Amino acid sequence: MDREEAAAITRPYEQIVVSHELTVLIGRGAFDAPVVPENAVAAAYGLGAIHASASLTLTADVAGLLGHAAEATRIILLVSPSGVTKTRGQEAVTTVDETRTFHLPVELRAIALALRDCDRSGEPRAFYLIAKAIELLCETWARLDAGQLIPLAVDSQLSRADSVRILAVKQLIEERWAEKLSLEKIAAACGLNREKLTRGFREMFACTIAEAIAERRLQQASVMLLTTDLPVSSVGYENGYLNNASFARAFGRRFGMSPSDYRACRLAA
């Protein structure tokens, strides 16, 4: 690191307190004692020198994020639960209850760069930064809830192109879980060899492809148990289990009770 870079890291960061629900931080290094909304979650945009190195981190561990020094400029949006609802909507189905890192899409990076590189001053600057921060947050939630963000596996050797292919595999499982999906068929569909596919899928989603398929089938089975009058054995068969014993074992491991007990408990509640 040269002297200029070292000096840049120690420069004061910029803080914009939009309201009690949103604080915007722009700068390098660790952020010292910023204004943090109560019970805030954070969206952190790491702006690398090239698009491929840019990242987006969503986390509830605000203290850990702020205490971590970074050499590249970051934009961090600290948002209260009520601020999340206002910028994300009441119908959001995913939560920010763990730290997740994604490749930063080019559209979001463009908004983040506009924030970083704003050359206005005075009130026009403040209004511009606030507007861009809210736009960035809204667009981030929209892509998160639409499943359009590509997970970035920490310390992974996966390229962005391979990450896109593996994300497509996850979507394939979501859409074609009822089919007989062999590893060979999936590998051919996504254009990756088996080794890279299996390793990359585990890195990105912390489970195997077989586990992801099983999870999707069991989730569908749990819905069918509550919304149809089909016998338990038929529900298992409809979701890829050839006998009732294997279905009951898998269901019990996932939900902690048998399919029959699950149906009885939920319907009685």
Q: Are residues 45 and 96 in the same domain?
A: yes
Q: Count the neighbouring beta carbons within 10 Å of the beta carbon of residue 252.
A: 14
Q: Looking at the 3D structure of the chain, how many domains does it have?
A: 3
Same structural domain for residues 31 and 46? yes
Q: Is 16 exposed, middle or buried (0-12, 13-18, 19+ CB in 10 A)?
A: middle
User: What does pTM read for this prediction?
Assistant: 0.62
Which range has highest mean pLDDT (5-19, 37-51, 202-216)?
202-216
How much is the pLDDT for 79? 95
* pLDDT tens by residue, 206-223: 789 999 999 999 999 999
152 vs 95: CA distance, rounded Å: 18
pLDDT digits (tens, 9 = 90+) for 50-76: 555 688 999 999 988 888 777 677 899
Q: In angstroms, rounded to a whole number, what is the distance separating the alpha carbons of residues 240 and 249? A: 14
- Name the packing angle between helices 194-205 and 160-176 (round to 10°): 80
| Inside any domain, residue 155 | no
pLDDT of residue 10: 44
CA–CA separation, 267 and 269 (whole Å):
6
Higher pLDDT, 92 or 61: 61
Could you tell me the residue range of the domain that residue 176 belongs to? 160-206
| pLDDT given at position 258 | 94
SS3 128: helix
Same domain for 194 and 219, yes or no, is: no
pLDDT-derived band at 5 (thresholds 50, 70, 90) equals very low
Confirm whether 77 is domain-assigned.
yes
> Checking phi first, is residue 102 left (phi over 0); if not, alpha (psi -120 to 50) or beta?
beta
Q: Quick one: 131 and 230 in the same domain?
A: no
Co-location of 25 and 132 in the same domain: yes
For residue 251, being part of any structural domain is answered with yes
Q: pLDDT of 125-174, one tens digit each?
A: 999 999 999 999 999 999 998 888 888 765 667 777 888 788 888 878 88
Strands (DSSP E) contained in the chain are: 14-19, 22-27, 41-46, 55-59, 74-79, 100-103
CATH number at residue 231: 1.10.10.60
Which of 90-104, 222-236, 254-268 bottoms out in mean pLDDT, i.e. has the lowest? 90-104
Tell me, yes or no, whether 39 and 108 share the same domain: yes
Residues 131 and 254 placed together within one structural domain of the fold: no
Residue 150, in any domain of the structure: no
